[in-house]
Amino acid sequence: MSYYSRNIELLITVAKRAALGLIRDFTELTQLQSAPKGHEEFTQAAIDRTIMVLRNELGKFHADYPIINKAEDLPITECFVVNPLDGKINFMHGIPYFATTIAIVRREKVLSSVIYNAATGDTFWAEQGCGAFKEASRNNLRLRVSSRSDLAKSLIATSEQKLCEHVGGIRNFGSMSLDLAAVAGGQFDGLVCSGKCLSDIAAGLLLVKESGGRNLSPQQEDERLDDVMSIWKSGNLISGNPTICSKLFDLA
């Protein structure tokens, strides 16, 4: 599905509209890097403006959908899970690796999701049962997880140094949603994180799943099962292509 469904078109439109202010603020912030203070306050103001736009714009289309970011607040019916700025520290330091994310969630399932990096224009989306894609000028690009199976040669997105002796390399770029998009696109073979909130990972989980990957909780007993609620409540996640994900699970 390289065309836009109604839900995906809505999410992309709202994400880009909400992030317009982030582009302006990011450009201004890069001019202020030599200033001794004020970056955190400036960034928080940018986040507050972005969440306000997200609430207003999403409310125009689905006023009945709550907007949340915590798993314990999930309603039975559909809701929006949003993150106005995933990669706050990067944004604050003028590093163009951050994203605005929106997901439509029904209890334990992500139905549609979008991840948008306003600094680069990179736009990723997925819809349940329809695949994961990256926006391109002509034909949108279908995302596929990597085929690498050798853990010792794999590249893993994580901050856990204990994995260094088992994998080919680790990276920690500071935006969980964009790292999950990189897993979905095959740039990373896997990902391991802990203590993340629902809004950090909801949109990216669907990208990984729809690109042929897997998402596991380190706490689950049977790796053959999908235990999304455990992932959301704990914020602990192992993602990757099926082989690498299974091997990372065995190390957890």
pTM of the model: 0.94
33 near 173, Cβ under 8 Å?
Answer: no
Torsion angle (degrees, nearest 10) of CA 199, 200, 201, 206: 70
Residue 155: count of CB within 10 angstroms of its CB? 18
198-217 per-position pLDDT tens digit: 999 999 999 999 999 999 99
What value does the mean pLDDT take over residues 87-95? 93
Region of 47 on the Ramachandran plot (φ > 0 left; ψ -120 to 50 alpha; else beta): alpha
Task: Return the CATH number of the domain spanning residue range 6-142.
Answer: 3.30.540.10
86 near 199, Cβ under 8 Å?
Answer: yes
What is the residue extent of each domain of the chain? 6-142, 151-251
pLDDT of residue 1: 43
Task: Return the CATH number of the domain spanning residue range 151-251.
Answer: 3.40.190.80
227-252 per-position pLDDT tens digit: 888 898 899 999 999 999 999 999 98
Task: Supply the DSSP symbol for 27.
Answer: H
